[in-house]
Structure 1
Amino acid sequence: MSTGMAMLGGLVLFVFGVDLLARALREAGGDRLRDVLHRASANRIAGVGAGVGATIALDSSSVVIIMLVAIVDAGLIPFAHALPVVLGANIGTTFSSQLFAWNVDAFAPVPMAIGFLLGALARGEATKRWGSVLLGLGMVLFGLHLIGDAAAPLAKRPEVTAWLRRLESPWLGVLAGAAVTVAIQSSSATLGIVIALAGGGLITLPAGVAIMLGAEIGTCADTLVAVAGRSRAAVRVGLFHLLFNIASVLLGVALVEALASFGRATANNTGQQIANAHVLFNVAGALVMLPFVRTAARALDAILPERATA
């Protein structure tokens, strides 16, 4: 019971921190990033770079893609120009998993304290917003720290480890990752929890990779909600995100052991191995797809043509 309560408290703090961080970052720089996405989308390489940068800055690939949907829906850019930015957003989301794997959660009280003081004492609205960013970041890291500490004793319970080991079956892991991501509405949050549990010996590398793959599908839920009722061009952006992620995950399931081997070759602890496998998966997928975005755009035009006008 005490372990469950501690994990629940850490999870609530973590999810609340993710939401606070995302809202604060949007308020601090959302308009400027929207302009950057608009300007950079005409060039494929610049579009990928803009997607990476915006996702790191906003800590959410879903928010970046939803911004793109709004830009395309408004007719500001052709939907085909948005596709490289989607690929860049997928790469940018790996920054969070690296951050979580660096074990910086021990210093979580520092940004929490600075953010709280800025929010309480600063007079300027801009400074207060950045205080909220620091407070949200600290809460995310501290929540992960609590989850990891609470879960540590469970590693000694064979029934718990046996159940979690079942997630090494790729499709069970994918299903679990997708379900958790849809529930908490953040693939970064899912990876953060997985990395925290891996640090305590509860999640194995193959299971962590499988859950990571599922999170890539679960993160499409927000995009699909965002395109409801939008123009055909905007819907095509959401459809590209979904189909690309599904196709890459199907390939990833076949290559789970290769991704795990890359993780083992590049790091010693399981959490960092999962984060490194996440980087390889998303970067490789984006690079493979980038030369074919125009072909994909034509295919989506054929699948979802413009409505006939009377």
Structure 2
Amino acid sequence: MTIPKRQSMQVYLPVVLPLLSGLVLFLFAVNYLSDGLKAISGDKLNDWLSRFTRNVVTGILTGIAITTLLDSSSVVIIMTIALVNARSLTFRQALGVVLGANIGTTFSSQLIAFDIGQWAGLPMAVGLGLMMLGRRDQLTQCGQVLVGLGMLFLGLYLMEEAVEPLKKMPAVSRWMQGLDNPWWGALIGAGATVVLQSSSATVGMAIILVGQQLLDLSAGIALMMGAELGTCADTLLASVGRSRAALRTGLFHLSFNLLSILAGLLLILPFSQLVLWVSAGAKPERQLANAHVLFNVVGVLAVAALVPFVANRLEQWLPDKPEQPAPAES
């Protein structure tokens, strides 16, 4: 028996509108929070990237620190590509930062897994007070960060409340069961990230769906892996038309994520068992957040020692253009 269109609208509209509101608020909060953190740090980020990337290990640690601070791996990697293009950073220095950014982005999933949406008003109220009463720019910027953090929590809370009725809808349950195919789930995650322009939003939605028991852990992991692939779209676009070194940096990010995801999808069942063992007794949403950390940390550790080899191959495949000689003076 099919549900009439009008009745279907009445069923799904009370879910879709709050879900859309929460998603828009979350995406706005991510950008607002990132802008506030960048304003606080100023030009120091460029200095840190150029000073603390002497080798792969320090590059990874720098990438982790800055991505955790800005809550956006795309911003950090795009900034790194720009520095490589400007020759403020070498291609080989950039590779450690790219790997570290993949680990740093997992901080947001750990934050999302905390059930603190009901406290969202507290950082927003404190932040608004600082923005209204602060006489120094730094206090105003700190207020912006707190307001952005509160809006992020509120957006997650709205989405979590919106999807609650979906558990009782057979059509939604059938569609969710289709995501049990990890390859299809990863494709959905990648597409969602390209559309939303935020892997954090995709991972956040996956955490919510797993927490509401609309998805099992393996399906949530597949969505998360897809989000890792979707986030490469921005960095590839940022490298188009740049120097060969900048283009190699974007291709390294894509290659690393793609190979990690292929390996993860092929080993998704044993990986899920490992996550359950590591996260014994944890809530489902925390299990997925831990899976995000474990997936990226293992991937970086597996590749870190091979960075010089990969760098050599990329430089051979895509060498720098020969510099044009300066015109002779007449």
Q: TM-score, normalising length from structure 2? A: 0.91
Query: Would you say how many aligned residue pairs link Structure 1 and Structure 2?
Result: 310
- Deviation of 1:72 after TM superposition, in Å, equals 1.0
1:209·1:259 contact (CA, 8 Å) conserved in 2? no
Task: Determine which of 73, 77, 100 is the counterpart of 1:61.
Answer: 73
Per the alignment, in what secondary structure is the counterpart of residue 168 of structure 1? coil
Structure 2: which amino acid aligns with 1:263?
Answer: V
CA distance in 1, matches of 2:315, 2:294: 30
Q: Could you report, residue by residue, the CA deviation over 1:90-149 in whole angstroms, capped at 9, with x for unpaired residues?
A: 011111111111222222111111112211221211111111111111111110001001
> Hey, what's the Cα distance between the residues in 1 that align with 2:112 and 2:306?
32
After TM superposition, list the pairs within 5 Å mapping 1:29-44 onto structure 2. 29-44=41-56
Q: Which amino acid aligns with 1:80?
A: R
Q: Which aligned pairs between 1:51-200 and structure 2 lie closer than 5 A?
A: 51-200=63-212
Q: Distance in 1 between matches of 2:220 and 2:137?
A: 40
Residues 194-239 of structure 1: CA deviation (Å, up to 9, x unaligned): 1122222222211100001101110111111111221111111111
**Structure 2: distance between partners of 1:180 and 1:190:** 6
Question: Could you tell me which residue of structure 2 aligns to residue 308 of structure 1?
Answer: 322
Q: In the alignment, what sits opposite 1:271?
A: 285
2:240 to 223, 228, 248: 228
> Is 1:285 matched with 2:299?
yes
Distance 1:26 1:165 in 2: 41
Equivalent pair of 2:23/2:201 in contact (CA under 8 Å):
no
Task: Give the secondary structure class of the aligned counterpart of 1:181.
Answer: helix
More moved, 264-273 vs 222-231: 264-273
State the alpha-carbon separation in 1 of the partners of residues 178 and 283 from structure 2. 20
Q: 1:206·1:257 contact (CA, 8 Å) conserved in 2?
A: yes
**Cα distance in 1 for residues equivalent to 2:263 and 2:249:** 21
- Give the superposition deviation at 1:259: 2.2
Segments of 4+ in structure 1 off by > 6 A?
Answer: none
Matched residues in 2 for 1:210 and 1:294: separation? 30
Are the counterparts in 2 of residues 259 and 280 from structure 1 also a CA contact under 8 Å? no
Contact persistence 1:177–1:190 (CA under 8 A): yes
Q: Is the 8 A contact 1:205 1:274 kept in 2?
A: yes
Residue type of the alignment partner of 1:3? V
Mapped to 1, the partners of 2:46 and 2:30 lie a distance apart of 21
Percent of residue pairs bearing the same amino acid type: 48
1:30-88 CA-to-partner distances (Å, cap 9, x unmatched) read 42122111111112211111010000000001111111111111112220111011111
Amino acid at match of 1:78: T
Deviation at 1:168, TM superposition (A): 1.4
8 Å contact from structure 1 (residues 24, 133) kept in 2: yes
2:220 is matched with which residue: 202, 208, 231? 208
In structure 1, distance between residues paired with 2:71 and 2:84: 21
Unaligned runs of 5+ in 1: none
* Structure with max Cα Rg: 2
Paired letter, 1:152 = E
Aligned-partner Cα distance in 2 for 1:184–1:27: 24
Residue type at the aligned position of 2:128 = F
C-alpha distance in 1 between matches for 2:264 and 2:209: 22
| TM, length-normalised to structure 1 | 0.97
**Secondary structure of 1:258's match?**
helix
Equivalent in the alignment of 1:17: 29
